[in-house]
Structure formats: C-alpha cells, structure tokens
A and B are shown apart, each in its own frame.
Chain A
Amino acid sequence: MAKEDVEARTKKQYVRTFIFSMKVGTPVEKLNVITKVLMIVVLSIVALYMFDIPVSKGGPDIIGLLLLLAMVFILLGLAGTTKYLFSSYLALAIPVLFGQFFWWLFFNRDLPGPKSPFFLWPSYIPIGVSTIIFIATFAILYYRMRSPMWPLIAAVLLWYFSITPALLDKAPYTWATIPIGAAYAFTLPSAAVTVAFAKALGYGVLIYTSFLFLLTTRDTEIAGALTQLKASFRVSFFTALMFRNLNIILLDYENIKIAQKARAAMVFRRNIFSRIMDLARISIPLVASMVKRSTEMGIALYARGFENAKQVTYFEETKGFSYMDALIIVILFAFLIYTVILGHTITALFLR
C-alpha cells in the first residue's frame, strides 16, 4: 500500500460492527471470526464446567471464572469499543447477573447444610432493602456522573454494608443467619453464596463474550469465515446479503416508527392493545417496502451477472489468522484441557 494510502487509512478510526462500532487496527479487530466463534464455544464450555463443579468435589472454580471474565474484559477494552457503548452494555448486564445471584442464593436447595425457612415473607426485607439501595445508588450517581465505573463501585460497597449487619455467621456450612423477629431466622448456607456468585460470574462470562462477538465482528466477515469453512460462494454471499437486508429493514423500521410518532401515536398514554396494534400496523409499510427492496436487489444481482457466474474470484473475502488468533486459541485450549479434560480447577492451583 502506498504511503499516502496508509496515512489515509490511519485517519479512519472506527469501523461499523454488528452493533455499533470498534476501533480500527486493534488486536481484536484483527481477530478472525472463526477464532471469535471458537472463543464463544470454548469459554461457554469452560464456564459451564467451572460453575457446575459440585460442592462435594470442592465447589465452583471461582478464581478460574474471575480469570475468564478478566480475559473477556481485557479483550473488550482492547477492541476500543466506545466508552459509552461499553458502559451501556456493562450496565445492562448487571441486573441480569444480580438476578442470577439471588436466584441461585435462595432457590438452590440441592446444597449441604441446614435448610432454611426463607420463604417467609419478612426474610425478603433486608435483601430487598439492600437491592433497592444498590439500584438507587447506581442510578443516582450514574445520572449525575454519566460514567458507570464509580457509581458501580459505590453501589456495590453500599450494598455490602447495608446487608452485612444482617449477616451473622453462626454454624458450620452457614454463611449467614438473618434474624427475623424472635421466631424465625433465615439461614444461608455458605455454599449457596459461593454457588450463586459462581453462577453470576459464569453467566457474566457468557454474556460479555457474546457482547464481545457482536461489538467486534463486522457482518462482512461472516461471508469470509463461511468461505474459509469451505461453504459455497452462494451460501456465503446470501448469508451476507441477509445481514445487509437486516440493516435496511432496521432503517425502514426506524423511519416508519418515526412517521407513526408524527401522527400522534405517543400523545396520549394508550392501552397495551392499541400499542400492540400500532406495532402490527408497522408491518404493512415494512412488508411492502421489503418486497420492493427484494425485487430491486434481485434485479441488481441480475445486472451484475450473478446468474451466469461460474468461476468466482474470492477477492480479499477472507481474513488470515494472526499471532493474536494463535495466542487466543492456545489460551482457550489450555483452559479447556486443564479444567474440563483434566478436571483441575484454577482456584485449587492458587490455593495450593
């Protein structure tokens, strides 16, 4: 590439991905889609394995899961996705992970230790109050600071201190006993906390790996990856065309939705039925537009000679494998072999 072309290329900072954009020239941008897909698969297997280790066999691999999560976050950071997007998706996943945590904390009955009468209504009070404190702290600080990191830290600390007074360590296998009046005590087995935390971490790994894929993969790369996997030109082309269509449909949907808003669809609060009907009405112009666009796309294909194509040239369709791909694959398989195949845990490695 000529020197001036290289200079022009450096001026383009961001490139569009499935959702939003990522920085050009980062190690993650250079990753092959096949590596990313492999990463989703291997990390999912390893994370599922790590949080599913029975308590009788040492319990979930917390340090392993933390390492996996850290790896995904480092890759997200390296991808240079804009701070705003990164923060939004980070924040979006947190309620889900909290939900996971509490679900496994309260409803995981298959654990050693005393079974607690935690379905009694007052037991929810301290948990509920602390959760409200967490959400309110995060929301208020985020609204004022427009950045998620400090609000998140502050919210976690406040949540911890608000729940701690209620947590009184009592018996073996018991992480906490929450006194509820004189008659009842809400007992949390210590294993429940570990398992719940591990589940939240594990699902965090799955969620953020998916985000990594969506935030750092260009739709155009899919066709190339399929080509590398020896799919026929027609299969890879029509898969890519599907993404192109999706892009256009979204544009049309936005325009139609705005047009509906301009016709007073939002002036008064309306019942759910009317709103569903409005959604259904969008389909009328949307389908008509899709039919027209598909016809014209067919014509455009014909005009380029698609029907008679015999010996197709693959012009820069595929992306090669870089050192970064090799490094990621080695790390992934190291995790896979060490944990799933050999049955070790990273936590045990650290605690040894």
Chain B
Amino acid sequence: MAVIEVKDFSWKYPSYLGEEYPYSLKALNFEINKEEFFGIIGPSGAGKTTLCYALTGIIPHVFRPPPGKESENVRGEIRAFGETLTKVQSVKDEATGLTRDKIVGMSQTAPRMGLLLQDPENQFLRMDLLHEIAFGMELLGLPSDEIERRVKEALEIVGLGALWPVADLVHPSELSGGQKQRAAIASFLALRPEVLVLDEPTSDLDPEGKLSIIKAIDTIRKEYKLTIVLVEHNPEVIQKYADRVLAIDNGEIIAYGTMENVYSNMKLFEMHGLYSSDIARIGYYGNLQFNGRVPFTIDEILSSIGDRKLNSIPLEEEKINPGAREIIDVNGLNYWYDDGTYALRNVNFNIKQGEFVGLIGQNGAGKTTISRIIAGLYRKYKGSVKVLGKDLRDKKVVESIPEYVGYVFQNPDHQLFMRRVYDEVAYGLKNLKVSPSEIESRTKEALGAVGLSGKVDEDPMFLGKGEKRRLTVASILAMRPSVIIVDEPTTGQDYRMSEDIMQLLEKLNIQGTTIVAITHDMTLISEHTKRVIVMYHGGVIYDGSTRAFFSNEDLLDKAAIIPPLAVRLSHAYVKKFPGSSYLINAKEWVEAISGRMKSQPLLVT
C-alpha cells in the first residue's frame, strides 16, 4: 500500500530577481510503499534535497510561491497517507467572485512524518540533549511522564542510552557529529512518525559510524513498522538496505524500481556520474554476471568467478625515494584540549617529498587535529613538529608556514572570502607579498590547473559545489606550498566530482607536490594512495603501505575501519585461494579478471 504518491509533480523555486529559475523537479511519478526502505540517489544538484522537502510538504507549504504564481511553480499532486499533501486548486474568491489558484493539502506533516537533514548542527535546536529529544513532544503537548519514557527509549534505540542519566547536562558542543546525528534521529523517533525522510544523514561519518546508524534505522523500521526514505550516495548502504530505488538527475527520474533493476544498469551510473559499488564495477568491467545481472555482493561475485584462480598482475607499491627531502617530521607529539582530555598521544611519523599519504581513522581519532598542527593553526602542543626542517615551536616559522603547507578545509563555504574568483586565488599571494606580475601569472596558472579559467570574474559564492571545492584547491595551489593537506575532499560530492578532485590531486602529486589526504572514503584511499597513516584514539597504530594495511584483518579491526568492498572481496578470495595477492581496488580486480578472461569470458547464470 502506497503511503506517499507523487503524481506528475513539478516544482520550481520562486524567483524574486526577475529571471525565472528552471524546474527543480520535473513531472515526477512514483510511489513509496508502507514500511518500505526507499532509496533516492542522484548526482550533486540533481534535486534530491528539493524532493525531500516536497515529500514532507515543506515545498510548497513553507517555501511558498508568490500569490498568482501557484500553478506555475507547482504542478501535479503529492498525496500522503491517502490525503492530498500538495495540490494547486482553482477556488472562487467569495469577496471578488473571481477564481484564483490556491495551494491545498496538509500544511503540517509532523508528527506523522519526520525530516532529517544532512548537517546535524542545524537541527539541534535546544541547548541540551534532553530537551532536544523532548522538543517535538512538548510541542505535541504530551504528558511529562510519557515524554520522559519516550526520550529514554529513543536514546536507547539510537545507541545513546548511556547519555540518558546526564541528558539534561549535555551541551550540543559536547557531542560528536555522529552523536548529534543520532540525537536528531532520536528526536524524530520519539515522535513515533510513520514516515522518516533522511537526506544524507551520515555523510560526515566514518564508514563504521555510517553503517551502524543505517543499521539502527533499519532495525527501527522493522520494529516500529516505519517507512524510511533515504537519500544516500553510498551504494553499499542502498544495496544492502533499500527495497526500491529512485534515481534522479536534473530534476527528472532516470531510473525507478527494485534495487537490483536500478543498480544493474551500469551505463546509467556512468552517464550520470553516480556512485556504484566496487563489486558492481568489478562485475561490469570484468564482464562477470550473476543471474543475468551484475553481481552486488561478495558471495555473488565469488560465485561468478567460480573455483578458478585469477592471473597475477603487477601490483603498484609505494615507491620510496631514499634521497627525497623530508617535508614533515612529527616526533613525540602530544595535544590536549582545554578540559584536559587527550587529542593526540605520542604521535611519530615523517613524510617525504612527493608522497601521497592517506591520513585515516574514525571520527575523533585526531586526524584533523594533527593536520592543523602541521599547518601551524594549533600551537598548544608538546613534542616536535618540523616542516622542511624548521621547528614549528618557533613563532616566526609558524607564522610563515602557509608558504610551505597548504590546508584545504572540509567546508569550501568557510574559506571563500572574496567576491571574485580571481581575487580569491590572489588573496593568499597578496598576503605573501608576491609581486603583482607574479600574482597574475600564478593566479591564472592555478585557475587553469583546476579548470576554472573561464570563471575569473564570477562570484565564488554562486559557483557550484564541485567548482567551489576546486577553487579552494586553486587558492592554495597558487601559493605553491611544498605540501597540500586536504581535509575530506569528497564529502557530499557525487562520484564524478570526487574523481575530478582526486585526479587533480594526483596530477599535482606527479608534478612534485606532496599530498596528505584526510578522508573517510576508503575506496578513494585504496585507489589513490600508496601509504596510509592510521590513527586511533589519538595515536598512530599503523604507518606503511596501503596494501599491507588493507591485507591485515586484525589491524582493520583494531582501527575500527571497514575496508572497501574490493578489499573485503580479496579477504574472501584469499581465504578460498590462500597465497593469492591482495587486490585492494576495483581497477586491480578488473585487470586481474580481464587478463584471465581474454581467453575465457565468464558468464555465470
């Protein structure tokens, strides 16, 4: 039975500046069934968030079109729980006797529907955890004992039960991103909704945190007979949990159906820049099939490969140049917060010129803290940190560090200060007192390197998400630092954008820039880095080859890191064929399979 029905629905945002916007959602037709886990996928800017707003009535009941423009901005109908949620109807004005368009339908979907957005910071409306969870119930006017019972229960469900006794004392700033997101989920669960719409709720979380939250949501769905609508980039999550999937791009439906049907169409994923899983890519490019489609799980692909052993391929390993200059040297580094808790404990490592290093670990492991110390942004530490042999304890050295270490922050919106793309890149150079002619040539070169030469006069604020990210890289690149640290370069971006950024970083690395990438995306790590530094609870627990790390299951467990599917496939394959090489990414797998399959194509049905 359909709980939400979308019929020929179109929407365009009202324009108040004269020029009309195009439709963000175009003639959408689909249904979401009761108690279903419904996945929505699409590239960045496809209209996924707008669709979430429409499904919960925020569009057009909160973002209202101007009077007289209702039928232009809103077309079609959305029904929820068998009633009209949104529809434009002609009504007769009793005062004038004229007919006019009016948006009709349920103006409020709470508490039957909940909407969880990407950034948990913006959804935390109260100043303590207890009232954050209780807030919706207070608005409903539930009795206090019922509120208390539900708060406790909701915290238990999302894994925050340990915080119940102190919930009234917990300030939002004391919660990690993952805990805040769990709290946001709990605040809706306590309202006992029938439908929960989640818009990329775990994009800032590490793989383990992400999967544990989605698993918790799925458990809740089954237990409380909830309908879940989840917008998510991660194909593993959608493939594992979604019953049906809707893929959209440019406001239009590009695929709709069961998970198997949608994810089998790999050409569609390529064309629209969508994330597909390692397994599906290996299957597709390696020409493997399972039941007439690309395999989705490790068991399926192993079954496709059968009992035959793969050919060995030359494996790329870290090439250490013993003569290379030492760029970063961290020795006995300790750092603690003002309240006395340790952020880093006795951290030691060094990075040589020309390396591309992945800095990985769970949320709160200390990755950002250590990289900000290296970039000279945090100073209250103990131990030694040297950049190009210069000790960062020296105030003059630390002040001049932006000349040597470039830091690209996670949120591009926080690092764009100027009103022109050209000025944005030139800003750092002016601060370094570079001559005007040099500023011009370096700015043009940096913008060319990131493909933004044609946008020199545009306002950075109005660039697309991917373009903003590239502009932030250009603004650092122009300063010609010896090392660039990028913090979560691909968060919230679609596959094509992520690949663009990673290829740009690889290009810079080949040209001689040392790169340190902090990321939760283990697929990117396995595809682009040859060395990883693995952090856990403020310490380094592994520093070495990426392949050796991903090969070691004990170490992966210790670091609480879920490796990419290609690596997990290797673990399963090596168990089956001991002594086989550990292949750590889809590219290696495809090469190994294709090499063998040239003579014998494999199609298992």
Q: Give the interface of A toward B (CB within 8 A).
A: 1, 4-6, 8-9, 11-12, 14-16, 21, 24, 82, 84, 218-220, 223, 240-241, 243-244, 247-248, 251-252, 255-256, 258-268, 270, 278, 281-282, 284-285, 288-289, 292-293, 296-317
Contacts and interface: CB of A to CB of B under 8 A. Distances in A.
A314 B400 CA distance: 54
5 contacts: A16-B171, A16-B173, A256-B415, A261-B402, A315-B148
A262 B56 CA distance: 41
A262 B375 contact: yes
A317 B126 CA distance: 11
B414 A285 contact: yes
Given A244-B172, A300-B117, A305-B139, A281 B417 contact: yes
Which among B141, B169, B187, B402 has the highest number of chain A CB atoms within 10 Å?
A: B169
A1 B168 CA distance: 13
Nearest to B415: A259
A312 B187 CA distance: 16
Contacts, number: 208
A303 B110 contact: yes
Contact of B108 (A4, A12, A307): A307
Given A304-B139, A307-B107, 20 more contacts: A16-B173, A218-B127, A218-B128, A218-B171, A220-B126, A244-B127, A259-B414, A259-B415, A260-B417, A267-B402, A281-B417, A289-B413, A293-B121, A298-B62, A301-B125, A302-B58, A302-B110, A304-B110, A304-B187, A308-B110
A4 B152 CA distance: 14
Given A15-B169, A266-B399, A299-B58, A305 B147 contact: no
Contact of B413 (A265, A288, A299): A288
Given A218-B127, A281-B418, A303-B115, A262 B406 contact: yes
B285 interface: no
A16 B166 CA distance: 12
Contacts of A292: 122, 413
Closest 6 CB pairs of A and B: A305-B110, A16-B171, A296-B122, A220-B127, A311-B141, A264-B431
B230 to A, nearest CB: 16
A302 B62 contact: yes
B407 A244 contact: no
B413 A6 contact: no
Contacts of A11: 166
A285 B411 CA distance: 11
A268 B165 contact: no
A252 B173 CA distance: 13
Nearest to A29: B169
A284 B417 contact: yes
A32 B144 CA distance: 21
Given A268-B433, A313-B147, A316-B168, A303 B402 contact: no
A293 B417 CA distance: 18
B78 interface: no
Interface stretch (B21-29, B130-138, B258-266): B130-138
Given A240-B127, A299-B62, A284 B416 contact: yes
Contact of A248 (B56, B121, B144): B121
A314 B53 contact: no
Contacts of B407: 262
Contacts of A267: 399-400, 402-403, 431-432
Contact of A314 (B111, B121, B138, B171): B138
Interface in B109-159: 109-111, 113-115, 117, 119, 121-128, 130-131, 134-144, 147-148
Given A243-B127, A296-B119, A305-B108, A312 B134 contact: no
Contacts of B141: 309-313
A208 B409 CA distance: 39
Contacts of A8: 162, 164-166
A307 B109 CA distance: 10
B107 to A, nearest CB: 7
B411 A255 contact: yes
A285 B127 contact: no
A305 B53 CA distance: 15
B399 A220 contact: no
Given A284-B461, A305-B140, A244 B419 contact: no
Nearest to B459: A284
Contacts of B227: none
Given A288-B461, A315-B148, A297 B139 contact: no
Nearest to B144: A315
B427 interface: yes
Contacts of A223: 127
Contact of B56 (A5, A9, A255, A303): A303
A319 to B, nearest CB: 10
A285 B415 CA distance: 7
Contacts of A264: 402-403, 428, 431-432, 479
Contacts of B53: 299
Contacts of B109: 303
B191 interface: yes
A15 B110 CA distance: 32
A313 B138 contact: yes
B56 to A, nearest CB: 7
B377 A262 contact: yes
B475 interface: yes
Interface string B334-346: 0000110000000
B372 interface: yes
B125 A244 contact: yes
B131 to A, nearest CB: 7
Given A267-B402, A285-B413, A300 B122 contact: yes
Which among A11, A281, A284 has the highest number of chain B CB atoms within 10 Å?
A: A284
Nearest to A252: B414
Which among A270, A288, A299 has the highest number of chain B CB atoms within 10 Å?
A: A299
A9 B130 CA distance: 14
Contacts of A243: 127
A262 B162 contact: no
Contacts of A281: 417-418
A171 B432 CA distance: 64
A304 B191 contact: yes
Contacts of A282: 417
Contact of B377 (A15, A258, A306): A258
Given A262-B409, A263-B475, A313-B137, A285 B165 contact: no
A317 B131 contact: yes
Given A267-B399, A299-B115, A312 B139 contact: yes
B174 interface: yes
